Amino acid sequence: MIHTASLLHDDILDASALRRGVSSAPAKYTNRLSVLGGHFMVTRAFTALVQLRNPEVTRMMSRTVPNLIEGEIIQMKDVIQAAADDVSMELDSTKRSRKHQDVWNTYLQKSFFKTGSLIARSIRSAVMLGGCAQCEIWREVAYAYGRNYGIAFQVSCHTLFDTMGGSDLFSS
């Protein structure tokens, strides 16, 4: 529900007419209804989380919404594009390499905030709620897997987007 809410809000912020090849919710139902729908889904998700009666899981999952917002802010600032533009300047190879690394690190951070944080915390929560015997080790493994999966998802979507020149077919 949190992910779906983030997609509703993302389509508003990006003024996306399409989501995976069909009309986006804002295009079909207006921005106002999409905002309300996203807010409704987030509140329902947290109502369900509280009903699990696991304060640790609730606290951890509550950090995903600020991360989603941070990811959107990074994306909206065009930090990645601005840094990429700087790379084309006449720089020696060391400075150019550092600029490329800065652009890549910013992109990975944005990808973690927008997708990886939710997936990482969701998988870690499943391990926590499952009651495994060596929980801390598996919590960390689950979190790392989710973080990397989320970032890989973002990278693959953007790679497909750039390669295919598709509109919002793979956006997230």
Helices (H), 14-134: 25-29, 31-51, 55-62, 64-76, 79-87, 93-111, 117-130
What are the backbone angles phi and psi of residue 22, rounded to the nearest 5°?
A: -125, 165
Residue type (1 letter), 78: D
Domain end marker among 51, 76, 93: 51
Are residues 77 and 142 located together in one domain of the fold? yes
pLDDT digits (tens, 9 = 90+) for 76-121: 886 556 555 655 555 667 777 888 888 889 899 999 999 999 999 9
Q: Report CA-CA distances (Å) from 37 to 90, 133, 138, 162.
A: 48, 39, 35, 30
Answer yes or no: do 38 and 102 share one domain. no
69 and 138 housed in the same domain: yes
Whether residues 47 and 62 fall in one domain: no
Judge if 31 and 90 occupy the same domain.
no
Structural domain count, the chain: 2
Give the residue among 108, 97, 46, 41 at the shortest CA–CA distance from 71: 108
The per-residue pLDDT for range 2-33, each reduced to its tens digit, is 999 999 999 999 898 998 889 999 999 999 99
Which residue range forms the structural domain that includes residue 44? Answer: 1-51
Helix axes 117-130, 55-62, angle to 10 degrees: 180
